[in-house]
């Protein structure tokens, strides 16, 4: 982009809105694309909940939306699996990885560390456009012959490798793999930028221990991404070779469709190892940014410093590190060496310690605070609640002996939707409510926001809490219906209840989308610092400009959590209950939470 040739007001539409290299515009693009994908993923889940809650009943809406995937208003069994697969893929990768990290890392990293822009605007733009292309391919795969990928979002071979095994493993799976390869490239380009920007472009005075926790969480997330995504790419490539060229990395001794396949010597377990080497860190790629965002919000809205800033960073580092050595807990029942199982149980349960520290620190931050309940704050409290509720059941699943009986049941579905799905979404939505004024220069409506929160939290617990009971009753996941088993006859009521809550949750999100679109276009104009926050992004103007700060970038003199700091007389140091990072330290004043 050549800004010196024309003043940037006159920049053509194409470069301002489409091929923008400005981090704030790219952030908006990620947010909107992510939300569109999220809405599609959400709708899919509502549709297959209809089948689970009312098995075999005919619905007009299913016929209308699914077309050839349904017959007489009832979805087909293999297309149910396609919906489940695409729901998982879209939610985990497109909404909660690209949508969440892409939006907030792009928006907040330069603004909060005091940088003009990302390290490479060009790579950043590429990162978005790879994501966009990947999203489009993923959506196109819904319409191809045989249907979309149907082997579960974990695409275990041989099911994902053989079109004879399920129709979705034909062209649909090919497109899935292409889309994911592009997605991984996008994610890596993003992560490179985030890491280098944070390490190299901080403004004067912004030491690592003065970074807001958001930035720390984005940094650790990006590092985890750089380490684990390439391994998924390797796994996917070998799968492509097996599918398209007839190699035998994952396949061996298969008799299907009346003939013996010529593959020999491979092992599907190898794929599981490679997949979960990314797959588990991926959980934290989703979770850590959400934790970072809510740490910031809880501190700002409680008008208190975040409790245990250094412990919070250490915990995130510990979680990031441990996440890379626990993948085996997804494979306790694959016949792995029992000793290896014991090791993975040990490392997995270790993660509970930093997680517990984080929860207690959140709660202590609230203690003796002066809490303003904005929708962002409500969602942050919701996140702490889901993080506890979902995290605790992880102690059951992470224990190899207990996992044998609940592995791949609805207990798991309940667990990961609460701890990863809800926490990730709550963190993302909290971030949107909090930084909407920074993104769009306008305010969201608080009353609609509150209504959105209450409907969301009530309905999502209504959906996922009962799933634990289904799991303890022995119901496996990814079942099209439970009515084939006398064993599960009495459980239909639970499924029906869950479906009603799912419909409610869907309706609740419509309120949010309405609020979002309305406020982005017509909402009241935002002031520069609506939440009276300390961090640097609130020192920039409401109107976006290239380079973020006119003139010099401000120098930073203190950590970002000086809320309600008092002097000896018991008055606020600056007369207000917050001290922005750009205010120099007073005489004898200690930085970083010293009194």
Partner 1 sequence: MIALVAIVAVLLVIATAVQILKIAELRATESGKEIYEISAKQSKAQAFLLMVFLVAYFGFFAWQVWKWGGLMLPVSASEHGVGVDELMNITLWFIIPVFIITHIFLFWFSYKYSFSETRKALFFSHSNKLEMFWTIIPSVALTVLILVGLSNWNKIMTPISSETEHVLLEVCGQQFMWGARYAGKDGKLGRASVEYIEGVNALGIDVSDENSKDDKIVKGEFHLPVGVPVQFVFRSQDVLHSAYMPHFRAQMNCVPGLKTQFNFTPTITTAEMKEKTQNENFEYILLCNKICGAAHYNMQMNIVVESKEDYEKWLAEQKEFGAE
Partner 2 sequence: MTTISLDNIKYKAEIRQKTAKPLLWIGLISIVMFFAGLTSALIVSKSNSIWIKLEVPSMFFISTILILFSSLTYQLSMSFTKNNQLKFATITTILTFVLGISFTVTQFYAWQQLYQSGIFWAGEQSNPSGSYFYALTALHLLHLFAGLISLLVVVTKSLLKKYSPTNVLGIQLSLTYWHFLTALWVYLFFFLKFIA
Report helix, strand or coil for 409.
strand
Contact 155, 176 (CB under 8 A): yes
Mind giving me the DSSP string for 276-305? HHHHHHHHHHHHHHHHHHHHHHHHHHHTSP
Q: Which does 200 bind (CB under 5 to 8 A by kind): partner 1, partner 2, none?
A: partner 2
Size of the site for partner 1 (CB under 8 A): 134
Nearer to partner 2, 65 or 270 (CB): 270
Assess 1 for contact with partner 1 (CB under 8 A): no
- Residue selected from 3, 208, 487, 507 as contacting partner 1 according to rule CB under 8 A: 487
Residue 295 Cα distances to 45, 112, 213, 288, 445, angstroms: 30, 14, 7, 10, 23
Give whichever of 206 and 298 is closer to partner 2, judged by the CB atom. Answer: 206
- When asked if residue 324 is in the footprint of partner 1 (CB under 8 A), the reply is no
Handedness of CA 346, 347, 349, 353 (dihedral sign): positive
The answer to whether the beta carbons of residues 111 and 548 sit under 8 Å apart is yes
DSSP assignments along 3-42, one per residue: TTTS-GGG--HIIIIIS---HHHHHHHHHHHHHHHHHHHH
User: Does residue 222 touch partner 1 according to CB under 8 A?
Assistant: no
3-state secondary structure labels for all residues of 476-506: ECCCCCCCCCHHHHHHHHHHHHHHHHHHHHH
Residues 449-468 that bind partner 1 (CB under 8 A): 450, 454, 457-458, 461-462, 465-466
Give the x-and-dash track for 95-134 against partner 1 (CB under 8 A).
Answer: ----------------------------------------
**Minimal CA–CA distance to 180: which of 157, 153, 147?**
153
Q: How far apart are CA 63 and CA 69, in angstroms?
A: 8
CB of 261 to partner 1, least distance (A): 8
Residue 121 binds which entry of partner 1, partner 2, none, CB below 5-8 Å type-dependent: partner 2
Selected range binding partner 1 among 179-187, 189-197, 229-237, 362-370, rule: CB under 8 A: 362-370
Give phi and psi for 331, each to the nearest 5: -130, 25
What does 227 bind: partner 2, partner 1, none (CB cut-off 5 to 8 Å by kind)?
A: partner 2
372 binds, among partner 1, partner 2, none (CB under 5 to 8 A by kind): partner 1
Alpha helices by DSSP H, 54-170: 60-66, 77-89, 103-113, 121-140
Which of partner 2, partner 1, none binds 504 (CB below 5-8 Å, type-dependent)? none
Interface with partner 2 (CB under 8 A)? 3-4, 7-9, 115-117, 119-121, 123, 188, 191-193, 195-197, 199-201, 226-231, 233-235, 237-238, 241, 245-249, 262, 264-267, 269-270, 273-274, 277, 545-547, 550-551
Please, which residue, 240 or 448, has the CB nearer to partner 2? 240
Residues 365-394 that bind partner 1 (CB under 8 A): 366-374, 378, 381, 384-385, 388-389, 392-393
């Amino acid at each position: 982009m050549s800004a010196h040739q024309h003043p940037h007001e006159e920049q053509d539409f194409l470069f301002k809105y489409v091929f923008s290299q400005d981090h704030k515009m790219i952030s908006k693009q990620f947010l909107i694309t992510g939300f569109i994908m999220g809405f599609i993923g959400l709708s899919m889940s509502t549709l297959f909940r209809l089948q689970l809650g009312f098995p075999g009943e005919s619905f007009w809406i299913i016929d209308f939306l699914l077309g050839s995937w349904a017959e007489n208003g009832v979805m087909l069994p293999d297309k149910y699996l396609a919906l489940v697969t695409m729901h998982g893929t879209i939610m985990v990768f497109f909404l909660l990885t690209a949508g969440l990290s892409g939006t907030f890392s792009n928006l907040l990293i330069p603004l909060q560390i005091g940088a003009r822009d990302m390290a490479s605007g060009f790579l950043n733009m590429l990162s978005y456009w790879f994501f966009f292309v990947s999203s489009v391919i993923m959506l196109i795969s819904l319409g191809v012959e045989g249907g979309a990928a149907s082997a579960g979002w974990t695409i275990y071979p041989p099911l994902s490798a053989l079109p004879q095994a399920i129709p979705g493993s034909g062209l649909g799976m090919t497109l899935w793999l292409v889309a994911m390869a592009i997605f991984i490239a996008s994610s890596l380009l993003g992560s490179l930028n985030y890491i280098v920007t944070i390490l190299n472009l901080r403004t004067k005075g912004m030491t690592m221990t003065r970074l807001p926790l958001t930035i720390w969480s984005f940094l650790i997330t990006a590092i985890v991404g750089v380490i684990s995504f390439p391994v998924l790419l390797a796994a996917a490539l070998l799968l492509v070779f097996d599918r398209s060229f007839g190699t035998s990395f994952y396949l061996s001794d298969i008799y299907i469709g009346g003939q013996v396949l010529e593959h020999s010597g491979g092992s599907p377990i190898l794929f599981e190892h490679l997949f979960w080497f990314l797959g588990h860190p991926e959980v934290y790629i989703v979770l850590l940014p959400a934790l970072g965002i809510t740490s910031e919000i809880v501190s700002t809205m409680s008008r208190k410093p975040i409790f245990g800033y250094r412990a919070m960073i250490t915990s995130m580092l510990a979680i990031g590190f441990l996440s890379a050595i626990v993948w085996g807990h997804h494979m306790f029942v694959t016949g792995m060496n029992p000793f290896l199982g014991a090791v993975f149980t040990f490392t997995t349960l270790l993660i509970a310690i930093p997680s517990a520290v984080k929860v207690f620190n959140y709660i202590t931050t609230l203690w003796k605070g002066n809490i303003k309940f904005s929708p962002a704050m409500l969602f942050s409290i919701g996140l702490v609640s889901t993080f506890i509720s979902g995290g605790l059941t992880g102690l059951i699943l992470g224990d190899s002996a207990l996992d044998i009986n609940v592995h791949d049941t609805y207990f798991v579905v309940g667990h990961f939707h609460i701890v990863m799905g809800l926490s990730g979404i709550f963190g993302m939505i909290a971030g949107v409510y909090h930084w909407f004024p920074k993104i769009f220069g306008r305010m969201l409506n608080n009353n609609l926001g509150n209504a959105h929160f209450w409907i969301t939290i009530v309905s999502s617990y209504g959906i996922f809490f009962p799933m634990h009971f289904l799991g303890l009753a022995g119901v496996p996941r990814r079942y099209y219906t439970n009515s084939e088993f006398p064993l599960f006859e009495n459980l239909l009521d639970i499924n029906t209840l869950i479906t009603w809550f799912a419909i409610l949750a869907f309706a609740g999100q419509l309120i949010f989308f309405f609020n979002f679109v309305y406020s982005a276009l017509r909402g009241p104009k935002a002031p520069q610092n609506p939440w009276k926050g300390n961090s640097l992004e609130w020192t920039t103007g409401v109107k976006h400009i290239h380079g973020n700060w006119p003139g010099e970038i401000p120098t930073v003199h203190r950590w970002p959590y000086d809320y309600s700091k008092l002097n000896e007389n018991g008055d606020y140091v600056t007369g207000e209950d917050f001290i922005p990072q750009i205010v120099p330290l007073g005489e004898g004043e200690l930085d970083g939470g010293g009194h």
